[in-house]
A and B are shown apart, each in its own frame.
Chain A
Amino acid sequence: MDQTRHVLTMLVDNQPGVLARVVGLFGARGYNIESLCVAETIDSQVSRITIVTRATEAGMEQIVKQLRKLINVIKLRDLTGSKAVQREMALICVRAKPEYRAEVLRIVDIFRCKVVDVGLEHYIVEVTGDAAKLSALIKLLMPMGIKKIARTGTIALFREPK
């Protein structure tokens, strides 16, 4: 059966151990986590966790049910296929020898991202966008040499009716 990518967003109690419950469930039941994001919401009692996972249709049904069963999961939504804004941020440290510096800046310009740190032989580029945009940028920067990269993983919100 084909596995597809799913973006799950959930509100959970902002308490110690809650993330461990969620992550532990994925580990124990053999579900995979492609990315994971967690931070407090405007209600300090509640955090939002965004998980990107790959699963078959039946597998996904189980993941959703099992997560809902956790006492600390307040609300959960599978944003796949629904109208949701998805974003990811990355910091990319790219090699920038003098002969490449202009080229890196041109790419940065095209992707409307920005340089947040400069050194004699590197730039750190900050980029925000959906997963496709990030991969496209990474592909273009690759030939220059990417020294380090830090990605946040996807966060997502359902679009409210207009």
Chain B
Amino acid sequence: MERSGAQILMQILKDEGVDTIFGYPGGAVIDIYDALAKTDIRHILVRHEQGAVHAADGYARASQKVGVCLVTSGPGATNTVTGIASAYMDSIPLVVFTGQVPRPLIGNDAFQEVDIVGITRPCTKHNYLVGNIEDLPRIIKEAFHIARSGRPGPVLVDIPKDVGNNYMDFKRAPKKIHLRSYNPTYKPNIKQLKKVKDLIKKAQRPVILAGGGVILSNGSKELTAFARRTKIPVTSTLMGLGAFPGSDPLWLGMIGMHGTYRANMSTGGCDLLIAIGVRFDDRVTGKTDAFAAQADIVHIDIDPTSIRKNIQVAVPVVGDCRVALENLNSLLDKDDLPDLEDNRKEWLNLIAKWKSTNPLAYEQKDSIKPQYVIDKLFEITKGQAIITTEVGQNQMWAAQYYHFDHPNHFITSGGLGCMGFGLPAAIGAQIACPDKLVVDVAGDGSLQMNIQEMATAVQYGLPVKVVLLNNCYLGMVRQWQELFYDKRYSATHMEHAPDFVKLADAFGALGLRASKPEEVETVLSEGLSSPQTAIMEFLVEQTECVYPMVPAGSPITEMLLV
């Protein structure tokens, strides 16, 4: 049957199980939008293409499906770049379709032409310019395959207008994808895993460091079983929060620049570090030479480039985190472990001491402490909400004070650290999980970066909640200036901001404000229980800093405490 490129695209999207697209139309994709209108695929019209990509990102994380975006050429395409870069850094599976000018015009500096394939080459897992309609089915199939397999990531497909509106004889897309140069290793080498097992038997002071890879590979259950069985305490990176239950006695809290005292100290003092699905970002390791300096490091990751990139390891294991943990668990089943209860006693006691002497702490006095807001948010939602964050202090407080018992409940721009992420990501997560409470923990700086997406949330009746910690500062930069730049607050004071309550109202959402500590609970209760999209603004202590803090480049055991 003769089908247009746009119709073929729709059919393959259906084959791939896509039921939601985040996008924004324009001239180069008008044929695709015309074909879209004839399907039952839900289209979410965002207010800015960056919002579309973040929303698809939030959707992908909450649903564990591939997020899909559709935008036009030129500015539509360039506006997606930040979102794509964020998804790339956090290994989130996305397929982004961009329109392109008709093929005869490519390279002519045509209206709304941009070389988006060239621009996104370094921040996509792979990308394509569709040169012929005959290649379109294969390319779309490959794009989804590449996005979701191995270490996931965003794939961009650039479709010239005259590919979308040309016709070809088409029945169905190829079922099997064969890429001779792309075969991710899922099954780890069992010899390596036996070495890991032997190290576990020997270790006196072991620690597990879990990362986003555990969540992406769906390995939380296996990780929890592994840690409980071996009685090894667990810390995680920002991206790994939720991979291990935050209420478990073995939980150490987050590691790194704003990690807990006990997580950083136990990493510094451990004799075995089992790192699973992490990439040893500088915010995690601090000074690399001093990182886990007494430990044999085991590193399990599906991406060989992550291994030995920043940290030398004793036992590298390339493979899927969940499969590796499954295999490790069954190796342990077949073995006699020494008396772990006795063995770990001293180590776990020391950790307990670190926890009691240097807990995460703040004193709630006259003005609202941002930590207190998150504490209360955790309490009221019983830890069951999906939390998205913006970037900066709000993100760190959310990570420290909201405790995650489940994976895929903490959605944040970890690698790129992209302000403006939280609100659109919350929209995506809410669409993926309509019955869940979805809360964006925001700062006044970040929220204003993609505030236009409030209109999207209201248009689609999405009851996302924004918990706005308003300190009238770009707080994290202000904190660095206070601590390391002699309090020269260069360009970090947001002296003027909109009235967020009125702004929420203008968007057709609910706006609430708390300016005193005693109002916090009421505002949270009212806002969270409302069926509406809501902004809850908390006028927080303006100069509050995030502690503990490891100055950039220092060993993570050298923390500034409260």
Contact = CB atoms under 8 A, between A and B. Distances in A.
Interface of A: 13, 16-17, 20-21, 24-25, 28, 58, 61-62, 65-66, 68-75
Contacts of A65: 304-305
A28 B122 contact: yes
B496 interface: no
B315 to A, nearest CB: 16
B498 interface: no
A17 B181 contact: no
Interface in B402-446: none
Instruction: List the 3 shortest-distance A-B pairs measured between CB atoms, nearest first.
Output: A74-B181, A65-B305, A71-B126
Contacts of B121: 17, 20-21, 24
B125 to A, nearest CB: 8
Interface residues of B, number: 18
A146 to B, nearest CB: 37
Contact of A62 (B129, B179, B309): B309
A25 B182 CA distance: 17
A66 B309 CA distance: 10
Interface in B283-310: 303-305, 308-309
Nearest to B304: A65
Given A62-B309, A65-B304, A65-B305, A72 B181 contact: yes
Candidate in A16, A21, A65, A75 with the most chain B CB atoms within 10 angstroms = A65
B308 A20 contact: no
Contacts, number: 38
B181 A61 contact: no
Chain A interface, >50% SS class: helix
A58 B146 contact: no
A74 B122 contact: no
Nearest to A63: B305
Given A17-B129, A28-B122, A69 B117 contact: no
A13 B181 contact: yes
Contacts of B180: 74
Candidate in B121, B146, B181, B308 with the most chain A CB atoms within 10 angstroms = B181
5 contacts: A24-B121, A25-B122, A62-B305, A62-B309, A69-B303
Contacts of B304: 65, 68-69
A101 B187 CA distance: 67
Given A17-B117, A71-B146, A66 B305 contact: yes
Nearest to B122: A28
Contacts of A68: 304
A47 to B, nearest CB: 13
A72 B181 CA distance: 7
A17 B131 CA distance: 12
Contact of A71 (B122, B129, B182, B309): B182
Given A66-B305, A70-B181, 20 more contacts: A13-B181, A16-B131, A17-B129, A20-B118, A21-B121, A24-B121, A25-B122, A58-B308, A61-B308, A62-B305, A62-B308, A69-B305, A71-B125, A71-B146, A71-B181, A71-B182, A72-B181, A73-B181, A74-B180, A75-B181
